[in-house]
Chain A
Amino acid sequence: MALKMVKGSIDRMFDKNLQDLVRGIRNHKEDEAKYISQCIDEIKQELKQDNIAVKANAVCKLTYLQMLGYDISWAAFNIIEVMSASKFTFKRIGYLAASQCFHEGTDVIMLTTNQIRKDLSSPSQYDTGVALTGLSCFVTPDLARDLANDIMTLMSHTKPYIRKKAVLIMYKVFLKYPESLRPAFPRLKEKLEDPDPGVQSAAVNVICELARRNPKNYLSLAPLFFKLMTSSTNNWVLIKIIKLFGALTPLEPRLGKKLIEPLTNLIHSTSAMSLLYECVNTVIAVLISLSSGMPNHSASIQLCVQKLRILIEDSDQNLKYLGLLAMSKILRTHPKSVQSHKDLILQCLDDKDESIRLRALDLLYGMVSKKNLMEIVKRLMTHVDKAEGTTYRDELLTKIIDICSQSNYQYITNFEWYISILVELTRLEGTRHGHLIAAQMLDVAIRVKAIRKFAVSQMSMLLDSAHLVASSTQRNGICEVLYAAAWICGEFSEHLQEPHQTLEAMLRPKVTTLPGHIQAVYVQNVVKLYASILQQQEQAAEPEAAQEVTQLMVERLPQFVQSADLEVQERASCILQLVKHVQKLQGKGVPVAEEVSALFAGELNPVAPKAQKKVPVPEGLDLDAWINEPPSDSESEDEKPKAIFHDEEQRQARHRQPEVDEEELARRREARKQEQANNPFYIKSSPSPQKAPVTAALLSQRYQDAPGVEHIPVVQIDLSVPLKVPGMPMSDQYVKLEEERRHRQRLEKDKKKRRKKKEKEKDKKGKHRRHSSLPTESDEDIAPAQQVDIVTEEMPENALPSDEDDKDPNDPYRALDIDLDKPLADSEKLPIQKHRNAETPKSPEKEDVPVVEKKSKKPKKKEKKHKEKEREKEKKEEKEKKEELAVNAVTAPDNTCEGLRREEAEDENDEAEQDPERKSSRHKKKKHKKEKEERTKDKKKVKKKQPEPEEEAAGPVENGAAEEEPAPPMSSYCLLAENSYIKMTYDIQASLQKDSQVTVSVILENQSSSFLKNMELNVLDSLNAKMARPEGSSVHDGVPVPFQLPPGVSNEAQFVFTIQSIIMAQKLKGTLSFIAKDADGATHEKLDFRLHFSCSSYLVTTPCYSDAFAKLLESGDLSMSSIKVDGISMSFQNLLAKICFHHHFSVVERVDSCASMYSRSIQGHHVCLLVKKGEHSVSVDGKCSDSTLLSNLLEEMKATLAQC
């Protein structure tokens, strides 16, 4: 045998191996492609051989060629052949090739399923290992589904080498086959405490990856991770865990509080820089999450900043970079502590390393203030001049604009300066961001009225020197600024000092080389300019001059008429005709200026680009409905009037809606105006958005990619004291002028300050109410007032802050995200044996719904239930304490309930095996594999299945409290109310100690991405039921909820109600009011609900001994009533459990299908029940000391039973 193999090798030993191939390629530098194609031909020959060694060699060479960029997908089948070699070295070559070139589209990948399965169960750990490694690269949804179970088994392999690989690959399996997450999760969790550090690290890795995408579901693991963090010494694991905590803390501030101390200790103690850095990062995350409403941890911040400063000062560039990176995170919430290191950061701006400079730039964003903005920008401008790479220069440019335009130009005290900076930036060669600059120019010119004159003068100069801008850099976007320049000069032509000159500049032949959309704007604005010139000259009574201008137009416009751009051509020909007409009239001596300028009368206002999208569909308007009936085939004349009538009605209906909106808008505006009336810094609000013409909307839409422009408000900026416009500075002198101006400004400021001081003091109150935290220093300071207006004013009424547009629908982790919601809930409940179960519709819908409600309470519940379990044990010996018995009544039947379901699950398991779909897919595989193998495999499967249920059953115990917890269908929390922000579920608990009080626990779950605060719950008291309010508050005051809710978080609040008579059920109306705060601002929201106090909620589970029970029945002072419910399929056991749970009864005695039950109300009514189960019905006979209470109770019970 061996001889034969040696012979086979000798036959082929002059084949090239990988080294020969590499050497050959190196020796054929000139005709590499030719040589390689020759090699590929050889490889094709080799692949035809039967000898697996030869094939493996060929595939090995192919893998190398793949790296060089050659397509090897044609050899996919040969790769699979090599994968199935019995020798490890060959197998490894096959798997390597597969991992390099297989992907989801590879059709033969289906064929690998059985081979991989075989390798996974191979006795050699290396075979298994190589299969796992390979699979991790090319796993497809099909492979994941078919192999998930095998990999799951490997997670408990005896060898840690296999275990760690199996654990890691599970992440890939989850990604491709999200259904596997639930069943696999308990075992994955187990692996967190694996004795082998490698396996542990792998499990941490996977869970961190999962939790990063959907941290909410992994909050419950926090204690476990906390334990790991304090016990582990592996830095890799520690780093991962600490990073994970960073992701979890925003959801659970309490976790953050706990973390601060151990993390601080680590920071002090560790010598590993990487660990230190991650600790600092997570502490920052914690501080950010705590920053709302928590006492300040200034010591921790100081520590972080201090450590980061050390990093930044380090000579190691890596540490410097990371220090700056982390610093920018602090900046967001604690800008003050970063600002003190301004010197250091400015120093980093001069670093030779671009990455570091970019990071420092990021930080600058938060360092600017009104005082230093000019200085910083000046510095950046010198960098712009020095920068070589265009990318870095572009970055600088965007940063300058970002810094200046942030929060509505908050820090700009002098807009003339800003315009000159913008103009200066246009001289940059080769920048891609011309449109950004243009957008800024437009934005400033439109919004800052007082600057228009200056802006127009600058723009006219720009137009004059357009050849400079356009000629050198036409390929790049800088000529976009001409778009803005032309528009500004046209629109605000009244400010032009030498309109004639500008007109000529705009009509130069050179203009026709500009891009079409810019030419179009030129043409349009030439007419505006022309109109204003006409006006001026007619007023000055110079008809000759006017005619000259017209003549100029008539001469120059034809060059645009010939344009290849449709838009330009169309506009130009229109305008040419117009001008010709004007010329005729002028010839007759008719004054035309008035009419021509009437064409452009009215003011343009900016509209937010998103405003249109946010207009809500008015109630009652169905956008999909036909406005007209679809035309019928026979359109007789009789029908026509009808159709018209119908049409009109529709139109009216549509008109009415916006009118209402407008009224509301107006009302709002009025209110705001009054509020701000006595504020001299307030910027007058604009006329109604209706007036805002389309052009402006178009303009801002075109430039909406500029970040600062995105929220252009419908606001005109009206400065209370107009700016002085000095003589036109030439663009070169800006730097000097800047300084002069600043000086002048300072003087001015001082003057104004003194003058305004008194007024200011008056206004202080009003200003503080509007949460503009910015100190207003000068008149030119326009930012503060703007900031508030923007969000509320620009948007239409009722526009919801929808974040939909921001989400990427193609996110590959989305599928996993959705499914990740369930697993946590389920892992605590009923484990599923096999991944196959996930496919069968196993869990009834009923189960799912309460799960969600339940989830929020879990961490607390767990502890509680754990205690209860212990008590339960005690109780078996001594039946003394009342409460314990109550618990027993609830939980005992519950366990059996779960047991039953487990049985069901197993049944379904078998069914799944016979699932037709499954069979067909197996048929496909059979085609490729011998039947014999198939059979053995099936046997194996059966074998494998046996141990699984046991293991899984054992799982929940470790999970902690899963078994003890009442199964989700038994949740006593029911939905109170829900809207897009918040979901409320509630439960009512009564206690025997207080005869007229019940406690309502409300779980509030924040479902939005906003931060919810100032929650207040108010209820309209009835005569019978009153909410307990804090002392001194009136009946109309709400009770504040003692916490705030960050997005996705839930918490429980308790409210006490006083009830007088408990014999009747009742409902109370109430409202939850809260403030939802998100990036766009804060809104006041309300949620109405109806709190339902059922009679059952007044009952308290009270144990009763059978003899006492008998006496009670005999006493004869109880009234009696009974009900019967048909069509019940639930087992008697479960039925009793349900009654116990929902109606707070305890079982006194049970004989076969008959049970006696007892409960007591908070006011001491005894309630006795006799429950009998027939074939499909249940009858309940009740006795109670109050007949009304009894009948109400039985009605409620009937409703419960009807659902069984």
Chain B
Amino acid sequence: MIKAILIFNNQGKPRLSKFYQPHSGDAQQQIIRTTFHLVSKRDENVCNFLEGGLLIGGSDNKLNYRHSATLYFVFCVDSSESELGILDLFQVFMETLDKGFENVCELDLTFHVDKVHNILAEMVMGGMVLETNMSEIDSQNKLEKSEAGLAGSPARAVSAVKNMHLPEIPRNINIGDINIKVPNLPYFK
């Protein structure tokens, strides 16, 4: 079982949090903070496993994480999941994000959390891996587009206008223009 999936950036700001076991709001924030402290301390080129699972309950748990450009992806899993399998799940997740956002970067995740959630929901459900085949994952989009059609257009237009003239746009882009590198993992062929 996957107990929780967290994404936060190098400063520890959460970009996505998904808990598959009930935790109170405060506990969730606490978990995110401690996890960030654990993970951010670690050097590059060390292993991706961390035995700090106690914070999500149970010594059985392990943190599997990946550091990609400005983001940390953390999966807290118990012993029923294969460690290398989870690393490959990272890969699938990132590739799917990459496909969904076209060269995904932190900003995409920041502004479209809902979309990330939707993608994730097709991969992991209730803490169990649902689908690992990328082509299967992003199938909701068509429906989404067709529904948004007429009624959604004014809002889209407005937000396009907003985006066009606001001075902070370039700044935002500067922060996020490092693309998340999608490394190739050899564990799974």
Contacts and interface: CB of A to CB of B under 8 A. Distances in A.
Nearest to B149: A2
Given A13-B154, A322-B83, A88 B143 contact: yes
A14 B17 CA distance: 28
Contacts of A10: 154
Interface string A11-34: 001100111101100110000000
Nearest to B157: A13
Interface stretch (B68-76, B84-92, B96-104): B84-92
Given A22-B111, A63-B113, A132-B125, A137 B48 contact: no
Contacts of B125: 132-133, 136, 165, 168-169
Given A13-B155, A26-B172, A355-B49, A277 B82 contact: yes
Contact of B111 (A6, A14, A19): A19
Contacts of B152: 9
A274 B130 contact: no
Nearest to A273: B187
B151 A6 contact: yes
Interface in B87-124: 87-88, 110-114, 117-118, 121
A320 B47 contact: yes
B73 to A, nearest CB: 15
B85 A318 contact: no
B25 interface: yes
Interface in B120-136: 121, 125-133, 136
Contacts of A318: 47-49, 83-84, 87
B128 A198 contact: no
Contact of A126 (B143, B150, B153): B143
B155 A9 contact: yes
A91 B23 CA distance: 24
Interface in B137-188: 139-140, 143-144, 147-148, 150-155, 158-159, 162, 166, 168, 172, 186-188
Interface string A66-89: 111111000000000000000111
Interface residues of B, number: 67
Given A64-B113, A273-B187, A355-B50, A164 B83 contact: no
A355 B50 CA distance: 6
B60 to A, nearest CB: 10
B128 A171 contact: yes
A17 B47 contact: no
A1120 B147 CA distance: 88
A496 interface: no
Contacts of A64: 113
A19 B159 contact: yes
B130 A165 contact: yes
A353 interface: yes
Given A27-B168, A103-B22, A172-B126, A67 B147 contact: no
Contacts of A322: 49, 83-84
Given A13-B158, A69-B29, A272 B188 contact: yes
Question: Which range holds the interface residue count of chain A?
Answer: 35 or more
B16 interface: yes
Interface string A203-223: 001101100100000000000
A278 interface: yes
Interface in A852-906: none
A70 B28 CA distance: 11
Contacts of A198: 130-131, 133, 136
A130 B121 CA distance: 9
A1095 interface: no
A532 B48 CA distance: 60
Contacts of A133: 121, 125-126
A20 B162 contact: yes
B158 A88 contact: no
A634 interface: no
A26 B148 CA distance: 27
Nearest to B23: A103
Contact of B85 (A130, A202, A236): A236
A9 B128 contact: no
Given A89-B148, A277-B82, A137 B126 contact: yes
Contacts of B26: 69
Contacts of B88: 274
Contacts of A63: 113-114, 117
A93 interface: yes
B128 A278 contact: no
A298 interface: no
B159 to A, nearest CB: 6
A356 B46 CA distance: 9
Contact of A164 (B51, B130, B189): B130
A401 interface: no
A2 B150 contact: yes
Nearest to B118: A92
Nearest to A173: B126
A419 interface: no
A235 interface: yes
A400 interface: no
B1 interface: yes
A132 B80 CA distance: 23
B151 A18 contact: no
B72 to A, nearest CB: 15
A239 B147 CA distance: 39
Contact of A67 (B16, B46, B136, B166): B16
Contacts of A165: 125, 130
A240 to B, nearest CB: 8
Interface string A38-61: 000000000000000100000010
The CB with the most chain B CB atoms within 10 A, among A132, A354, A358, is that of: A354
Contacts of A273: 84, 186-188
A989 to B, nearest CB: 43
Interface string A333-370: 00000000000000000001111101000000000000
Given A208-B80, A274-B85, A235 B188 contact: yes
A355 B151 contact: no
Contacts of B150: 2, 5-6
Interface-centre pick from A19, A208, A356 (highest chain B CB count, 10 A) = A19
A1010 to B, nearest CB: 24
A17 B154 CA distance: 12
B131 A5 contact: no
B115 to A, nearest CB: 10
A415 interface: no
A150 to B, nearest CB: 16
A1115 interface: no
A20 to B, nearest CB: 7
A124 to B, nearest CB: 8
Given A5-B151, A209-B1, A320-B47, A274 B82 contact: yes
Given A53-B151, A274-B88, A317 B47 contact: yes
A352 B46 contact: yes
A212 B126 CA distance: 17
29 contacts: A9-B151, A14-B158, A17-B155, A23-B166, A53-B151, A64-B113, A68-B14, A69-B25, A69-B26, A70-B25, A88-B143, A89-B144, A89-B148, A93-B114, A96-B118, A132-B125, A133-B126, A164-B131, A168-B128, A208-B80, A273-B186, A274-B85, A317-B45, A317-B48, A318-B48, A321-B49, A352-B46, A354-B46, A355-B47
Given A23-B168, A243-B82, A273-B188, 6 more contacts: A6-B154, A60-B114, A130-B121, A164-B130, A277-B84, A354-B46
User: Which 5 A-B pairs have CB atoms at the shortest separation, nearest pair first?
Assistant: A136-B126, A274-B84, A317-B47, A353-B46, A321-B47
Interface of A: 2, 5-6, 9-10, 13-14, 17-20, 22-23, 26-27, 53, 60, 63-64, 66-71, 87-89, 92-93, 96, 100-101, 103-104, 124, 126, 130, 132-133, 136-137, 161, 164-165, 168-169, 171-172, 198, 201-202, 205-206, 208-209, 212, 235-236, 239, 243, 271-274, 277-278, 317-318, 320-322, 352-356, 358
